[in-house]
Structure 1
Amino acid sequence: KDTRVDTDWVWEAIYDIRDTQTLRLDLEQQRMRVDQWFARDAINTLFEPGCDHVAQVGCDWLARAGKRWRPFLTVCTAEALKDAGALCEADLRRVVVAVECFHKASLIHDDIEDGDTERYGEPTLHCEHDMPIALNAGDYLLGQGYHLLVENTLSSDQKAALVHIAAQGHRTLCLGQGAELAWTRSPRVLNVPEVIDIFRRKTAPAFEVALLMGEVLSTQHRDLEPILHQYSEALGIAYQIHDDLDDLLVGGAACKRILMRPSILMALAYDQADENEKALLTAAYQGKVTIEAVLPVFKALRIETQVAHLMETYKSSAIAVLTRLDNASLKGLLRRVVSKIFFDFDIMGCCNDPQT
């Protein structure tokens, strides 16, 4: 029962539909396609930064390492939903790069707001250049993102839909980050629903934007917004829970981040702690004790196991939503995306998930 397998292979087999009209996407091929679009030379060709310093800084940042899940989702969704005709490669590329522009701009601003000094194993942009230049570079990428959404050969309706999706996502992300920033001015242990709500607003919209833009790019609009919204919400929450859990498992400096922002670990622990433990958890957020003093409480309450279970619950929720999809290609794709992002599935966990 403890055997681990190549989960992509398993789900390829499950979704190996022989209907010739059902599109089978090679995820690695799409991943390579996305990576090529973010090579520095490719970005220079698209942006033409010239001698403008802020443009060069922005292009450098855009080309830096990253998982690029969001542009990957946009490409795959558009390809899965397209009809027999091919998508316009130039238009697809511009929208995909716009999605990453928005994401990379948010990272610049998040790093400033959170006081982070390192990302991707390198200095954060405001540490490398200084805060005013970093802020300007983030704003430049936002502007470039919106520019790319309208400077293409798509229809006016498609352009309007893309801008609306981006603006809605931008607004929701800011509200989520704003809630977290407000918390930092007066840190306290939040309850689980409060933490989940911040995760929902801060992380989930970026996934939703990527998926909805892929739908708009497809050759036939299918009004999948309600399903993609629920899928993105569950996926985004699971993704953020995974980040919190990863901080605990990595330990060291990463572990200290648990006390720097609203944490699902702290919320679950506080819900079950006795009075002495609650006092200790509160003192940790007040800076009176270090994270090392809190770790024994996590261990005693088996918080690591509980957080992992909560993450699995949201992953399963994302998968369950897919039962409402009629498009087999997109259904299979989104199921495989969960497996690919959370590459720790084992065969029993997969088979216990709702079938899609």
Structure 2
Amino acid sequence: MGAMMIKLSDELEKFFAEGGREVEAALRKVTAPDEEPIANLDDGLLYALGLDAGASAQGKRLRPLLCLLVSDSLCGRTDQALPFAASIELMHNFALVHDDIEDGDEYRRGRPSAWKRYGVPHAVNLGDYLFTKIFAALLLGEGAVPAEKMVRFFALMTKTLDHTHRGQALDMNARFERIDLAHYMRIVTNKTGYYLAAPLVAGAIAADAGAEVEQALQRYGMAIGPMFQIRDDLIDLTHGKGREAVGSDVCEGKRSFLAAFVFERGAANEAARLEEILNKERSETTPEDVAEVLEMFNRTGAMAEARRVCEEMTEQALVEIDGLPEPLRGRLVDVTRYLAARQA
């Protein structure tokens, strides 16, 4: 399944295109300055979100579109889900701006990352400003979304931010460690599990779907989020991720699923050599180093195991949504298969 190219249905493609326009309009509304624009800030917001005139890519908008999809599937409308959808996209991009600084990634979505474009001090401030817009987006629902739902949206966002930052701390703490697979899963569960589950749950809250549906979507998100990250680890070494080259994670010294596999199950000399390469400064990591690591990941079975785990987590995610009402279940099955087979 992992090697197949799977496309979304025409119906979902149309829904996501329309939903993307809704999200973009909300993002533009919440990021529009109330006073004279400030250089390196207001233009930086648009740059980070891919809304500036020079943008050729805006990112997948996966999380906000899932939020809208759940709400539409359950109640036939998206208006009460839109504020959370916009806020989760702002959260995602706030995290990416700071993440690129922390990782030293110079490219994002095929062009210079925010810190490379504006400098580190401005990018830190830009990320902080994006953080404030998370809550401004939630307040787009004021007067239109019932107060009890607004409170739940704020609580859900707070919980999601908490887990994401804890996961990022675990990730940074692991940069020079020989982590095992259990530790890797703890990192990605916090970093990607909770904040892929959150928009799904928010869509159910918006639709008044009830606790049983919310809990099923939470479990689904907690399976599909780590799968998404492991798939990212594979894509980095096969197709790249909109960064400067294939193997950016190796240059960064990232402790990916593949690295954790070799540290835990590889021979002592292989683990030592991998650690030596990953611990190099980014500027000292050569294309030959990246090629050696890729060959090691293939030879040791790390790549095959990552694909196997992705398939296993995909099937577990599908089990969690099996009892959901149509058309939500069928739509999420299609999305899940698509995400599991993606190449970018």
Residue 282 to residue 42, structure 1, CA distance change in 2 (3 Å) = closer
Identity %: 22
Aligned to 1:265: 258
Matched with 1:73 is 66
Residue pairs, 1:233-248, within 5 angstroms: 233-248=222-237
Which residue matches 2:146? 155
Query: What is aligned with 1:303?
Result: 302
Deviations 1:292-343 (A, max 9, x none): 44344323223222211111111111111112x3422221122111122234
Is 1:31 aligned to residue 16 of structure 2?
yes
TM-score by length of 2: 0.84
AA of the residue aligned to 2:247: C
Give yes or no for the alignment of 1:334 onto 2:332.
yes
CA gap 1:60/1:255 in 2 versus in 1, 3 angstroms: closer
Which position in structure 1 is the counterpart of 2:318? Answer: 319
> CA separation in 2, counterparts of 1:297 and 1:4?
24
Computing the radius of gyration over CA atoms, which structure comes out larger, 1 or 2? Answer: 1
Change (3 A) 1:119 1:219: same
What residue in structure 1 maps to residue 166 of structure 2? 175
* 1:105 has 2:97 as partner: no
Partner of 1:87: 77
Aligned to 1:255: 247
Query: Match of 2:312, as an amino acid?
Result: T
Q: How many residues align?
A: 321
Q: Which runs of 5+ in 2 are unaligned?
A: none
Name the counterpart of 2:186: 197
The one-letter amino acid paired with 1:176 is G
Q: After superposition, give the CA deviation of every residue in 1:134-193 in whole Å (9 maximum; x if it has no partner).
A: 222222222122122134211110000000000000000000001111122xx1221111
Distance 1:234 1:44, change over 3 A: closer
Of the three residues 276, 279, 291, the one matched with 1:283 is 276
Distance (whole Å) between structure 2 residues aligned to residue 74 and residue 172 of structure 1: 19
State the 1:46 CA deviation: 4.5
Q: Is the 8 A contact 1:30 1:75 kept in 2?
A: no
> What residue number does 2:32 align with?
48
Q: Distance in 1 between matches of 2:121 and 2:324?
A: 48
- Distance in 1 (CA, whole Å) between partners of 2:342 and 2:44 is 36
Partner of 2:174, secondary structure, is: helix
Indicate conservation of the 8 Å contact 1:55/1:140, yes or no.
no
Cα distance in structure 2, aligned partners of 1:200 and 1:88:
28
Q: CA deviation at 1:75?
A: 0.5
**Aligned-partner residue type, residue 255 of structure 1:** G
By how many angstroms is 1:280 displaced? 1.9
Q: Measure how far apart 1:38 and its partner are.
A: 5.0
Q: TM-score, normalising length from structure 1?
A: 0.81
How far the C-alpha of 1:130 sits from its partner, in A, is 1.8
The answer (yes or no) to whether the contact 2:180–2:264 under 8 Å persists in 1 is: yes
Where does the alignment leave 5 or more consecutive residues of structure 1 unmatched? 13-25, 346-356
Taking the aligned partners of 1:302 and 1:216, their CA distance within structure 2 comes to 42
Alpha-carbon shift at residue 220 of structure 1 (Å): 4.3
Q: Secondary structure at the match of 2:60?
A: coil
Shift of 1:88: 6.4
Decide which moves more: 237-246 or 257-266: 257-266
Tell me which residue corresponds to 2:213: 224
Q: Is the contact between residue 43 and residue 59 of structure 1 (CA under 8 Å) also seen in structure 2?
A: no
1:8 to partner: Cα distance: 4.4
Query: Residue 201 of structure 1: CA displacement?
Result: 0.8
AA aligned opposite 1:99? I
Give the distance between the partners of 2:138 and 2:23, measured in 1 at CA: 17
